[in-house]
Structure 1
Amino acid sequence: MRSLSHMIHPPVVHREHFRDADDDHPRLECGVCGVWGAPADEASAIVALGLHALQHRGQEACGIASVNQTRFHTERHMGHVGEAFGGTDLPERMPGTAAVGHTRYSTAGGSFLRNIQPMFADLDQGGIAIGHNGNLTNFHFLRNQLVGEGSIFQSTSDSEVILHLIARSRKAKIVDRFIDALARIEGGYALVAQTRTKMIGARDPLGIRPLVLGQLGDAWVLASETCALDTMGATFVRDVEHGEVIVIDHEGLRSIKPFPARAARPCLFEYVYFSRPDSVVNGRSVYGVRKRMGEGLAREFPIDADVVVPVPDSGVPAALGYAQASGIPYEMGIIRSHYLGRTFIQPSQGARQKGVAMKHSPNRAVIEGKRVVLIDDSIVRGTTSVKLVRAVRAAGAREVHLRSASPPILWPDFYGIDMPERDQLIAANKTMEEMRELLEVDSLGFLSVDGLYKAMGETGRNAAAPQFTDHYFTGDYPTRLVDREIEEGGRDAIGRQLSLLVTA
């Protein structure tokens, strides 16, 4: 093995470089979708419909890989699903009865064509295409180890590590090789893989990232959210369980649970922001949870006001809940334009400053002279919030009271969410009063952690055994952060990880 010195400072991808400067919301890495057993040559078109429904999970790039008997057809494009796969000729371009697809927003790796998924590789047993939603917390450790042993990488995405681990496994069967690779990775993931004879789905042992199973006639479907099943016309069967591997082939479907049982801890931000409101995630209606978040916020931070206004679109359900619980009228006081893509982002600071006004326009008719309660799903850095507050005041609001339907974000994420480091998180560096002054509001309130758990149908957070992944609010990370430990701890940390690897 090579010297370990090259592992002390693994390459760091600065995720902020890929961020829309005028959008302060967190971003999720991607969405995945797959179909097995579709009518002849229709698989790619069905997957394209699913990806269209999952567009909110990733808007930088998309890809599909279909298989027709023994031949794979792959296409990967920058841009939206409709632009890449909206043509009626898709079944001719990408024939087959099985396909997997992916829509991407980069968190690990940059915005380059070589990082777009599904990633494809020719193994000794044939081709395999894989789509990955999530982030591996030991990506750099594994990548550097594989490079040191002779592996050659074609991308900077953590998803390629999984392909290399599958290729290097000594197991005889492809499913066993896939499971062998899963045993080496850590973090949050939902995977959909396609070989010429099988579709394989997997969810991380804690169920951090979501994955659902459905049926479309005689075909089986895997997708990140139930909204994709609805768009395809598929029927929801069940959630893929945490730590479960599903194998679908001509003999049917079988479930494998290869790892020790652990309590599930799904990601709370799926409910706060990421999932579409019409999806049902882990048995809970996203829309219903968000409305209850607003109701809890009204109980925890009441205010005498004239109108409740959501920050569209993600703040709408919580604002409805706040209005109903408080008795304050709900109005669409901010109108959002849905026709500004990343291609419209301007390079100059002066042009960027106009970005919020172009995306969110105050509705003066319902704001002027009013005491406004402004409801957003979350507050990250506060850069967008202060611009919106100023715009609402400029439209004549007499008072502005800002409410966040999630608790203060205090810690960064390492499981597939594009979130700034701690020194850029406003709540981690300011007191409540300092935040209120910085955001230029008359009052400020965040839903409590227990309030969020109650919106989820729990009585509160079980500190001894948390029911959800909530580290961005609490600092309680549910897995080891191997790459972060190495980055901060140097050679000693590498030694600890290698010893753990040997004993695993």
Structure 2
Amino acid sequence: MSDPIKHECGIAQVRLKKPLEYYQEKYGTPLWGFYKLFLLMEKQRNRGQDGAGVAAVKFDMPAGEPYMFRERSVKSNALDRIFKDTLKQYQKLIRNGEVLPDYVPSIKRKFDFAAELYMGHLRYGTSGGYSLSVCHPFFRRSSWPTKNLILAGNFNMTNTAELNESLIAIGQHPIFATDTQALLEKVGFHLDEAHDNLYRYLRDEGHTNDEIARRILTGIDLPKVFRKSAESWDGGYALIGGIGNGDSFILRDPLGIRPAHYFEDDEVFAAASERAPLMTIFDKSLEDIHEVPPGHIIVVTKGGEVTKSVFREPEPEPKQCSFERIYFSRGNDADIYKERKALGAGLCEQIMDGIDRDLENTVISFVPNTSEVAYFGVLAELRLIRRQEVKTQILEAAEKGELDAAKLDELVMKNWPRGEKIAHKDQKLRTFISTENSRNEMASHVYDVTYGIIKDNDNLVCVDDSIVRGTTLRKSVLKILGSLNPKKIIIASTAPQIRYPDCYGIDMSELGKFIAFEAAIELLKEKGKKDVIGEVYRKCLEAEKGEAPNTVNYVQEIYAQFTDDEISAKIAQLVYPYDTSWKGELQVIYQTVENLHKALDGHDGDWYFTGNYPTPGGFQVVNRAFINYYEKAKGRSY
């Protein structure tokens, strides 16, 4: 994705099934789980660089001893800072003689992160700013173990205001910070309720205080707590957490919008946002890793029992985020790698049309590096197309008696796809220059190119993951590619046109920043259809006031006036580098929604491209986004 956008978060959970002494004996350290947590987070660093946090729960600590711990950071290299600083504390304990390296009980008692349950979170901020106070995991503390709650997740709720109102209605005084805080208090309320109901029941049954305390520790029904808590949640979410008695959980929204994977063996239960890191860190095969089913919660009790149950009825048609497959998740996952190659292959007929099938004078490349796998898919498919053409031509020549060595040279040795590494992303430049023109000048040098490859009569095709705002194309990529003076540049996006905002975990909710929306608005003005803009604004206002259906995406009417090709052509005009000496032709092509679904079989979350939102909150967000655009209001629409 040449346009950087804030997106996603990463979650990681490690629940040891054996005593710490087991890991000391087998792996040489009781901190085996802690190290695994770090590696699991490191392999998902792509999912969040605004902050990081880790939490730990120790089992069977004596009364009066702390048993739940947390470290967070929003500084640069937050993940490294947390683990380095934490391990420095451990080394200091050893130097001071407070911990005996070979005596596990001393380590567990003195070192905060010598624990049986670990949780980690990598944050990309989509709400609440970037301060430490909004960095996961979140804690809700109590002197009762079963009322202590840790929560972290990859999610966005579209109805945070409604959730806060429901808390106010039951007498709480929520702090309107983030949707995470709203969820924490909502779950915390029902957790308190479950604890108090169990306490009263056991007390009325005549049990002693010791018996009540013991049975409460094993009697909290976490699936029931979340069934009550999540009744009104609207959004996409994958949550991990735990309570002070040692029970842990991972759950996923009923549409499966946000990803979540797990595995278990006799040593550990582990979970993460992505499958490949679990395979790499724990040396597991593809078959060992499972998806958390939509609408399900998996609980690991303090006693080690693993249960999977429904907390919200799964939707009959899941809407797993397609952007996960196109761009966000690491491409070394076996399925994602194949899908990205298929996305590249899906562009090839449009590419062949764009170059007039002249492969001999065309160079295929990619920008940025995350497009590389799709680029391989383009090359593979173009070679397949060309082989089929050559086969047909050879058979025709043989039938006519014209097949000889010269003819074979002509057919076999020419017009084959040429792949080259043309664009290179330079080291990130510092933004210490204050004037806008100077900053833009610096931005234009983010990419560098390979010189001496492109000839004046060459077409240059660059594969991109997706084009959101077009800003980097305008200010950097096309300027530097144009300096090579190709006859024609084709930017080929493996994603369809991004037309609508996301509200389920990706920070792209301002319509006016989408290049496809900008193109559609320009076309409306050029074609004398400017009244459509005002009409859509009126409908969005009526929907927000309850005077019109609020589960209709009225912004679709903006795009309905034009074909996809018309909008793509206008996008090419908008991003063309007119302020350079290059005067060649520019074409921007996009994946079709049909080919997207073919490539990403089973991952049908496509509301960014189609506007077909899977929850009521999505429709409210898109209409509010248009109101904000029309009224020139800045900021998120949820």
TM-score by length of 1: 0.83
C-alpha contact 2:431 2:439 (8 A) present in aligned 1:
no
Give the stretch that moved more between structures: 163-172 or 381-390.
Answer: 163-172
- In the alignment, is residue 391 of structure 1 matched against residue 480 of structure 2? yes
1:164 alignment partner in structure 2: 185
Deviation at 1:401, TM superposition (A): 1.0
Q: Select 1:54's aligned residue among 44, 51, 54.
A: 44
2:81 alignment partner in structure 1: 83
Q: Structure 1 residues 365 and 381 mapped into 2: Cα distance closer, same or farther (>3 Å)?
A: same
After superposition, the C-alpha distances for 1:101-147 in whole angstroms (9 at most, x for unaligned) are 10001112211110000111114424221111011111122124424
Q: Select 2:308's aligned residue among 240, 255, 258.
A: 255
Aligned to 1:74, the other structure's residue is in SS state: strand
Q: Which amino acid aligns with 2:149?
A: I
2:462 alignment partner in structure 1: 374
C-alpha contact 2:366 2:372 (8 A) present in aligned 1:
yes
Aligned to 1:320, the other structure's residue is in SS state: helix
Q: Select 1:301's aligned residue among 331, 351, 355.
A: 351
Task: State the alpha-carbon separation in 1 of the partners of residues 421 and 622 from structure 2.
Answer: 46
1:16 alignment partner in structure 2: none
Q: Select 1:448's aligned residue among 563, 575, 592.
A: 592
- In the alignment, is residue 25 of structure 1 matched against residue 11 of structure 2? no
Deviation at 1:210, TM superposition (A): 0.4
Deviation at 1:46, TM superposition (A): 1.7
Q: Structure 1 residues 31 and 405 mapped into 2: Cα distance closer, same or farther (>3 Å)?
A: same
1:177 alignment partner in structure 2: 225
C-alpha contact 2:8 2:328 (8 A) present in aligned 1:
no
After superposition, the C-alpha distances for 1:350-377 in whole angstroms (9 at most, x for unaligned) are 4432454554221224346442101101
Q: Structure 1 residues 329 and 23 mapped into 2: Cα distance closer, same or farther (>3 Å)?
A: closer
Deviation at 1:332, TM superposition (A): 1.2
- In the alignment, is residue 244 of structure 1 matched against residue 296 of structure 2? yes
After superposition, the C-alpha distances for 1:408-453 in whole angstroms (9 at most, x for unaligned) are 1111011001114222211123122211112225222101000111
Q: Select 1:484's aligned residue among 594, 609, 621.
A: 621
Give the stretch that moved more between structures: 33-42 or 261-270.
Answer: 33-42
Task: State the alpha-carbon separation in 1 of the partners of residues 242 and 481 from structure 2.
Answer: 50
Q: Which amino acid aligns with 2:52?
A: C
- In the alignment, is residue 195 of structure 1 matched against residue 243 of structure 2? yes
2:394 alignment partner in structure 1: none
- In the alignment, is residue 290 of structure 1 matched against residue 346 of structure 2? no
C-alpha contact 1:410 1:475 (8 A) present in aligned 2:
yes
Q: Structure 1 residues 346 and 253 mapped into 2: Cα distance closer, same or farther (>3 Å)?
A: farther
Larger Rg belongs to = 2
1:34 alignment partner in structure 2: 13
Q: Which amino acid aligns with 1:474?
A: T
Aligned to 1:442, the other structure's residue is in SS state: strand
Deviation at 1:344, TM superposition (A): 5.5
Structure with bigger strand share is 1
1:127 alignment partner in structure 2: 148
Task: State the alpha-carbon separation in 1 of the partners of residues 428 and 34 from structure 2.
Answer: 28
Q: Which amino acid aligns with 1:292?
A: A
Identity, % of aligned pairs?
25
After superposition, the C-alpha distances for 1:440-497 in whole angstroms (9 at most, x for unaligned) are 2522210100011111247xxxxxxxx611111101000111763996999xxxxxxx
Q: Which amino acid aligns with 2:378?
A: Y
Deviation at 1:273, TM superposition (A): 0.9
2:490 alignment partner in structure 1: 401
Deviation at 1:49, TM superposition (A): 1.1
1:106 alignment partner in structure 2: 125
C-alpha contact 2:9 2:124 (8 A) present in aligned 1:
yes
Deviation at 1:326, TM superposition (A): 1.9
C-alpha contact 1:299 1:325 (8 A) present in aligned 2:
no
Task: State the alpha-carbon separation in 1 of the partners of residues 623 and 599 from structure 2.
Answer: 37
Q: Select 1:352's aligned residue among 436, 439, 442.
A: 439
- In the alignment, is residue 320 of structure 1 matched against residue 376 of structure 2? yes
Task: State the alpha-carbon separation in 2 of the partners of residues 331 and 356 from structure 1.
Answer: 24
Q: Structure 1 residues 27 and 192 mapped into 2: Cα distance closer, same or farther (>3 Å)?
A: same
1:267 alignment partner in structure 2: 321
1:224 alignment partner in structure 2: 273
RMSD: 2.7
Q: Which amino acid aligns with 1:252?
A: E
Q: Select 1:214's aligned residue among 263, 268, 274.
A: 263
Task: State the alpha-carbon separation in 2 of the partners of residues 192 and 67 from structure 1.
Answer: 13
Task: State the alpha-carbon separation in 2 of the partners of residues 447 and 428 from structure 1.
Answer: 17
C-alpha contact 1:54 1:227 (8 A) present in aligned 2:
no
Q: Select 1:364's aligned residue among 451, 454, 457.
A: 451
Structure with bigger helix share is 2
Task: State the alpha-carbon separation in 2 of the partners of residues 354 and 73 from structure 1.
Answer: 47
Task: State the alpha-carbon separation in 1 of the partners of residues 362 and 277 from structure 2.
Answer: 38
C-alpha contact 1:42 1:96 (8 A) present in aligned 2:
no
Deviation at 1:334, TM superposition (A): 1.0
Q: Which amino acid aligns with 2:573?
A: E
Q: Structure 1 residues 382 and 162 mapped into 2: Cα distance closer, same or farther (>3 Å)?
A: same
2:33 alignment partner in structure 1: 43
Q: Structure 1 residues 216 and 60 mapped into 2: Cα distance closer, same or farther (>3 Å)?
A: farther
Aligned to 2:614, the other structure's residue is in SS state: coil
Q: Structure 1 residues 162 and 174 mapped into 2: Cα distance closer, same or farther (>3 Å)?
A: farther
Aligned to 1:265, the other structure's residue is in SS state: coil
C-alpha contact 1:311 1:376 (8 A) present in aligned 2:
yes
Task: State the alpha-carbon separation in 2 of the partners of residues 90 and 194 from structure 1.
Answer: 24
- Extract unaligned runs of 5+ from structure 1: 1-21, 459-466, 491-504
C-alpha contact 1:99 1:194 (8 A) present in aligned 2:
no
Deviation at 1:178, TM superposition (A): 3.1
Aligned to 1:314, the other structure's residue is in SS state: helix
1:473 alignment partner in structure 2: 609
Aligned to 1:260, the other structure's residue is in SS state: coil
Q: Say how many residue pairs are matched.
A: 455
Q: Which amino acid aligns with 2:162?
A: F
- Extract unaligned runs of 5+ from structure 2: 18-22, 24-29, 62-66, 91-110, 196-219, 384-416, 520-566, 577-584, 628-638
2:208 alignment partner in structure 1: none
Task: State the alpha-carbon separation in 2 of the partners of residues 142 and 444 from structure 1.
Answer: 42
Aligned to 2:469, the other structure's residue is in SS state: coil
C-alpha contact 2:54 2:70 (8 A) present in aligned 1:
yes
